[in-house]
Amino acid sequence: MERKDLAKIFHQTFGLAISKMRELEVLQELRKKQPGDYFLSNKPTYISQLGEADKDKIENFYGFINDEKAMKRFGASNLHEFSYWSWRACGVVALQMVLNTDPLSSFKGKTMDLVKEGLEMDGYDLKEDSGWYHTALIKLAEKYGFHGFIDKFVPSSKIALLMDQGSYVLCSVKSETGGHILLATGYRLGKNGSLRGLWFDDPSDFSHSGEDRYVNKKDFDKLSTRRIIVLNSK
């Protein structure tokens, strides 16, 4: 049996069990709160990984984007560079939203600046073309004034609790291209501390609006890899 298969079995069995145990612990804290909607104190500045491109100028999903204004917003030097990296920039853009929001951040650049810095750290899996390494995103965050760490086997209710504590949470989810990253921005709490759903800023706005996207708990739990990046300004 291959290592990938063993890892998948582990996440579906022991990993799920660990996540459920952690959810019971978090529930004790959420039960102290009143039902309602809760959001980050600093509303994130939404950024599209496609540079707010005109949809009529996008050939297809993962296709060429013939929009020079969007290219300039993204910070790319030409349309080919923009068309390639914009589809692959979800992790960097989720981080950029944090950097552009937090008043203590020192970042002043554009998306392509972060992409290039991440590539200098060997932060993207170029061989498999499968996404950004979470450790590289943390290194980028630390460069601009943040502490960060990766947490695994995280139940969705824990994401809510982390936001209450003032943390920014980047959530890893499954997608048709293999993986995707969302920035959590708020949550809805029901009676007895039950989590109803979460709000996210989704860097991808190709097929739907990316800003303030609400996902109910059941649907999010199906998408979530239960792996997150937690960021706090120093």
User: What distance in Å separates the CA atoms of residue 152 and residue 50, rounded to the nearest whole number?
Assistant: 29
% of residues, the chain, pLDDT over 90: 82
Q: Where are the domains of the chain?
A: 3-49+87-233
pLDDT band for position 16 (cuts 50, 70, 90) = confident
pLDDT at 165 exceeding the cut of 70: yes
pLDDT tens-digit series, residues 85-127 = 999 999 999 999 999 999 889 999 999 999 999 999 999 999 8
Residue 227 belongs to what H/E stretch? strand 224-233
Q: Looking at the predicted structure, is the pLDDT value of residue 130 above 90?
A: no
Over residues 135-156, the pLDDT tens digits come to 999 999 999 999 999 999 999 9
Give the pair of three-digit tokens for residue 4.
């990938």
The pTM for the full model equals 0.92
Looking at residue 133, its pLDDT comes to 96
Tell me the one-letter amino acid at 157: S
Element containing residue 114 per DSSP (H, E): helix 111-120
Which residue shows structure tokens 């989704």?
202
Whether the CB-CB separation of 141 and 107 falls below 8 Å is answered with no
Indicate if the pLDDT at residue 1 is higher than 60. Answer: no
- pLDDT over 80 (residue 14): no
Measure the CA–CA gap between 223 and 4, rounded to whole angstroms. 19
For residue 135, what is the DSSP state?
A: H
CATH architecture of residue range(s) 3-49+87-233: Alpha-Beta Complex (3.90)
Residues 35-78 pLDDT 10s:
999 999 999 999 999 999 999 999 999 999 999 999 999 999 99
More confident residue, 18 or 218: 218
